[in-house]
């Protein structure tokens, strides 16, 4: 683990002591004046208060857009070079991380090895909390070490508080081994921010129920992870215009989505879209390049190979004609 001396954040010689950043001092743990007397409210009043507080999340995320953009480009570069994006988190933050990682294969046809998640307590903790694990630096280091992080990889730690020992230690370990590191947190000046190369901080403020960071904080983390992977996939060319062209057609819904993409992108009939998708081997990118560039399947496949599967570049390429 990297040697760092930052007493104000609680990290010293690679170790983090939670007492250096007391939980009660965090904004996410403080009392929200807008929800005083919450337990006396009607159902409609409860919903209105939560909705009003949720409306603040997008504004908090907006302030972190420059850092989010840096991470998007880092992830896109890493994946192009054969690296991985690995999320690591605990509790609600870990569940948000797992959700984003698991949704990339069906939406963008990535492999499960390309975008991964590590959850404190393992996969069983997704449904049955194993919260004690998040206090262990050793387990955090062990779990990330098993993935052998390298200079090709991007490691993103998620922690609403920014002080979770498991996550802080894992990010610091990965950074010491040359991986590009980032974090997503909801408090300023935290050990996790100090451990990462890039700190994404969405200050959503106090929760409606004090300390219930599955609410605004988790919503912010979900918004940010969505931005990171969607942005990276788009930068890699897996989106054409605003269409999800790298969709993997594994069920009837996704087949219909693929057909609809061709209809909208190329202005063709459904019958023509079905015909081309079949001739393209049920690949939307291949079918789209065939239609847009006016080429046959072998040429479309060659163009996509030469462009690292960037659909727009493959369509516009004029150097690979057979």
Q: Are residues 207 and 283 in the same domain?
A: no
The confidence score (pLDDT) of residue 34 equals 75
Q: Are residues 119 and 190 in the same domain?
A: yes
User: Which one of 29, 53, 134, 299 is the catalytic residue?
Assistant: 134
Residue 207 appears among annotated catalytic residues: no
Whole-prediction pTM value? 0.86
**Within a domain: 240:** no
Residue 103 appears among annotated catalytic residues: yes
Q: Are residues 304 and 179 in the same domain?
A: no
The answer, yes or no, to whether residue 164 has pLDDT greater than 80, is: yes
The answer, yes or no, to whether residue 89 has pLDDT greater than 70, is: yes
**Within a domain: 156:** yes
Confidence grade of residue 132 (pLDDT, cut at 50, 70, 90): low
**Within a domain: 101:** yes
Q: Are residues 220 and 269 in the same domain?
A: no
Residue ending a domain, choose from 235, 267, 301? 235
Q: Are residues 295 and 229 in the same domain?
A: no
Q: Are residues 12 and 125 in the same domain?
A: yes
**Within a domain: 247:** no
| Mean pLDDT, rounded, for 258-271 | 94
Average pLDDT, the chain: 88
Q: In angstroms, rounded to a whole number, what is the distance separating the alpha carbons of residues 91 and 159?
A: 9
| CATH code for the domain of 165 | 3.40.50.10490
The confidence score (pLDDT) of residue 175 equals 98
| CATH code for the domain of 268 | 1.10.8.1080
Q: Are residues 162 and 44 in the same domain?
A: yes
Confidence grade of residue 153 (pLDDT, cut at 50, 70, 90): very high
What is the domain extent for residue 62? 5-235
**Within a domain: 115:** yes
Q: Are residues 55 and 103 in the same domain?
A: yes
Token pair, residue 125, equals 């903790």
Tens digits of per-residue pLDDT, 208-227?
888 888 999 999 999 999 99
Overall domain count for the chain? 2
Residue ending a domain, choose from 235, 260, 287? 235
The confidence score (pLDDT) of residue 4 equals 35
Q: Are residues 140 and 88 in the same domain?
A: yes
Work out whether the CA dihedral 169, 172, 177, 178 comes out positive or negative.
Answer: positive
The answer, yes or no, to whether residue 304 has pLDDT greater than 70, is: yes
Q: Are residues 311 and 189 in the same domain?
A: no
**Within a domain: 157:** yes
Among 17-21, 129-133, 216-220, which stretch is predicted with the lowest mean pLDDT? 17-21
Q: Are residues 125 and 201 in the same domain?
A: yes
**Within a domain: 321:** no
The answer, yes or no, to whether residue 259 has pLDDT greater than 90, is: yes
Looking up tokens 């046809």 gives 109
DSSP of 212-277: -TTTHHHHHHHHHHHHHHHHHHHHTT--BTTB-TT----SHHHHHHHHHHHHHHHT--HHHHHHHH
The more confident residue out of 21 and 16 is: 21
The CA distances from residue 29 to 23, 51, 209, 311, 318, in Å, are: 7, 19, 9, 46, 57
Q: Are residues 192 and 276 in the same domain?
A: no
| Mean pLDDT, rounded, for 65-70 | 98
């Amino acid at each position: 683990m990297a040697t760092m001396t930052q007493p104000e954040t609680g990290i010293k010689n690679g170790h983090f002591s939670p007492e250096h950043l007391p939980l009660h001092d965090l904004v996410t743990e403080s009392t929200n004046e807008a929800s005083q007397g919450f337990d006396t409210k009607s159902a409609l009043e409860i919903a209105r208060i939560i909705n009003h507080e949720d409306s603040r999340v997008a504004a908090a995320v907006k302030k972190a857009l420059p850092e989010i953009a840096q991470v998007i480009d880092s992830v896109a570069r890493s994946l192009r070079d054969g690296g991985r994006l690995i999320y690591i988190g605990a509790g609600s933050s870990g569940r948000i991380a797992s959700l984003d990682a698991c949704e990339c294969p069906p939406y963008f046809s990535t492999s499960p090895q390309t975008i991964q998640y590590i959850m404190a307590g393992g996969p069983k903790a997704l449904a049955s909390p194993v919260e004690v694990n998040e206090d262990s630096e050793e387990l955090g280091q062990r779990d990330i070490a098993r993935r052998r992080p390298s200079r090709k990889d991007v490691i993103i730690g998620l922690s609403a508080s920014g002080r979770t020992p498991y996550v802080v230690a894992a990010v610091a370990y990965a950074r010491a081994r040359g991986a590009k590191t980032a974090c997503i947190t909801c408090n300023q000046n935290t050990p996790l921010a100090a451990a990462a190369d890039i700190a994404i901080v969405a200050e959503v403020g106090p929760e409606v129920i004090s300390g219930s960071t599955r609410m605004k904080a988790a919503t912010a983390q979900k918004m940010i992870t969505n931005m990171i992977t969607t942005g990276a996939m788009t930068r890699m060319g897996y989106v054409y215009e605003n269409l999800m062209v790298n969709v993997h057609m594994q069920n009837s819904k996704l087949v219909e989505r693929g057909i609809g993409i061709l209809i909208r992108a190329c202005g063709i009939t459904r019958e023509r879209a079905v015909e081309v998708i079949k001739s393209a081997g049920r690949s939307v990118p291949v079918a789209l390049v065939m239609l847009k560039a006016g080429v046959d399947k072998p040429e479309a496949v060659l163009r996509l190979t030469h462009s690292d599967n960037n659909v727009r570049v493959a369509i516009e390429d004029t150097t690979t004609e057979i």
